[in-house]
Each structure stands twice: as C-alpha cells, then as structure tokens.
Amino acid sequence: MHFRAEHTAARAPVPSKGTEDVLPARTFENLARRVTEHTGIRLPVSKKQMVEGRLRKHAHALGMALTGYCDWLLAGDAPEAEFQRVVDAITTNKTDFYREPDHFEHLAGYAVPQLLKHQRPLLKVWSAACSTGAEAYTIAMVLAERAGAHRFRFAILGTDICTTVLAQAERAIYDADVATAIPGPQHRYLLRSRKADDVRIVPELRRLVRFAHLNLMDGRYPVDRDVDVIFLRNVLIYFDKPTQTAVLRKLLRHLHPGGFLYLGHSESMIGTELGLKEVGPAVFRWK
C-alpha cells in the first residue's frame, strides 16, 4: 500500500513578509519542462515572475513556501490533482464574447450557408480551448439566430485543459460587464441576476453546448470524426512550431470534408504553412 505524499511531504514554512520566495533557476527550468511536456505551453525564463506570482498564492494557501511546493511537485510525490492545479494556475484564459467578431460574421454569412448545401442533419461545432465558454456560447447565439429561418439543428462541444474555466463554462454565469460585448438583440439569450451584476446564458442555449476536459497534447481526442466547424483560436501561440503542427494535424482528423477551421488572427500563418486553403482571415476550409 502506498502512502500519499501529502502526508509525508516536508513542508517548508511560509516565508514571512519581505523574505524572498522565488524559485532557483534550476527549479524553474524543471517545472517549465514538466509543464511544457504535459500542456505544450512554453515557459521561457521571461515568464518566471508570472509563474511564481501565480503559484506562490496557491503554495502559501497550502502552508508551503513556493520552492518547497515546487520541489514536492517535481519529486513526483504530489497527487495527480495537484499538477492539474498548476496547469489551472499557469494557463492564460483570456477570452470574450464575440472576440474577433468578423469570424462570427463569416460563420453566419458564409460557412453555415455552405455547410447547409450539403444537407447535414446536425451541424457539429467544436470550440477546442474554449476557456470560460464565451466562445462556445457566442457560436450558439450566432447559430440560434440562423437556425430558425434555415431549419437546421446544431450541437456545440467546448473543451479545455483548465478545470476552473470549464466549471465556469458549465455554470454559464458571467459578470454583466462581460456581456457588453454581446450585441443588443442577442441579450435575449441572457438572464439577469436580481442585482443585474451577473448574467446567465438561457437554458435553451445551455442545452446545446456541452463541455469536457481535453488536453490538446493527448495522442488521440475522444471527439467525433465528422465535425463541421472547429474553432481553435488563441491557443497555438503558446506552443512551439512542431507542437502547433502536430496539434493541428490531429485536430484536422476530426473535421468533416468541406468543414471550416477558425484560428486566431495572429495564428493564421500556422494554417497556411500546413497547406490549408484560406477562405477568410484566419479561416480555412478542409477538402
């Protein structure tokens, strides 16, 4: 029988205010390597302070100094869930409703009419690296607007490696401020809290969107192979070139012929380099 390391880890005391609690260069390198192997996210030395800041708070909450916490993790003694907490702390989850809005115009005005020509009974859309769900619910709003008139059904899958954002995506509750990016007419898809400081996506849309934990570094993705539209925006930038290519190739195995791939605007080169046909700014069609 194994004893869990949490009971045996030597816990360095939390340093008092003013005591330096920074990682030795070697510890940071080892941690960065481990994070990159697992998530693909590069952590050059320029990110050291950011990583320390994000992990320090968590280490202190556990009653550990940052260095002791990282040594414990790197020794391989920490429970698996603890490494997920590091991933949660290190990922950058910046997102927004209607982020890079021309993509949603393209989806409604070009991609959907094209896809409907092929009479697909159910349009499948995957928001890979969905963060808090803002992207997936934006897609849901855009498709819901078209679905009535054009009589089609759709289903959306949102996946991410970070469990905290997935929990928010499932709750579908956002600060009312965040909702200012949503065009007026689409506010009918929002419920307001009594104090109007929060909004929640209406159940009719929530029902059409499902969320799951998925690491793009995994060898295979447990996702259907006939997805019509994939959004993979603003995540490849965190990976190195071979990882970007490998992830994109794996993802394309899930795109139905004639399907559309949306990358972040700053990532369009990655699609071009793979020989994909660009049919809009950072939008590609899979033949």
- Could you give the residue numbers annotated as active site? 54, 160
Q: How far is the CB of 168 from ligand SAM (least distance, A)?
A: 10
Task: Please tell me the distance from the alpha carbon of residue 265 to that of residue 267, in angstroms, as a whole number.
Answer: 5
Radius of gyration, alpha carbons of the chain: 21
Kindly state whether residue 161 participates in binding ligand SAM, applying the rule CB under 6 A.
yes
β-pairing, 277-280 vs 173-175, is: unpaired
Kindly state whether residue 39 participates in binding ligand SAM, applying the rule CB under 6 A.
yes
Q: Which residues contact 253 (CB under 8 A, 6 or more apart)?
A: 225
Selected range binding ligand SAM among 105-113, 129-137, 168-176, 204-212, rule: CB under 6 A: 129-137
Kindly state whether residue 43 participates in binding ligand SAM, applying the rule CB under 6 A.
no
DSSP 266: G
CB atoms within 10 A of CB 1: 2
Q: Which of 21, 52, 71, 160 binds ligand SAM (CB under 6 A)?
A: 160
Q: How far is the CB of 65 from ligand SAM (least distance, A)?
A: 26
**How is the beta sheet containing 122-128 ordered, strand by strand?**
209-213, 153-160, 122-128, 227-232, 255-263, 283-285, 277-280
Kindly state whether residue 270 participates in binding ligand SAM, applying the rule CB under 6 A.
no
Kindly state whether residue 215 participates in binding ligand SAM, applying the rule CB under 6 A.
yes
Do 192 and 131 touch, CB atoms closer than 8 A? no
Q: Which of 71, 135, 228, 267 binds ligand SAM (CB under 6 A)?
A: 135
Q: Which amino acid is at 124?
A: K
Q: How far is the CB of 113 from ligand SAM (least distance, A)?
A: 24
Kindly state whether residue 91 participates in binding ligand SAM, applying the rule CB under 6 A.
yes
Q: Which amino acid is at 114?
A: Q
Kindly state whether residue 94 participates in binding ligand SAM, applying the rule CB under 6 A.
yes
Site for ligand SAM in 65-84 (CB under 6 A): none
Q: In b/e form, how buried is each residue of 50-69, taking b as 16+ CB within 10 angstroms?
A: ebbebbbebbeebebbbbbb
Q: Which amino acid is at 50?
A: M
Kindly state whether residue 99 participates in binding ligand SAM, applying the rule CB under 6 A.
yes
Which residue lies nearer to ligand SAM by CB, 30 or 84? 84
Task: Please tell me the distance from the alpha carbon of residue 207 to that of residue 223, in angstroms, as a whole number.
Answer: 18
Q: Which of 36, 95, 244, 268 binds ligand SAM (CB under 6 A)?
A: 95
Q: Which residues bind to ligand SAM, rule: CB under 6 A?
A: 39-41, 91-95, 99, 129, 131, 135, 160-162, 165, 214-217, 233-235, 238, 264
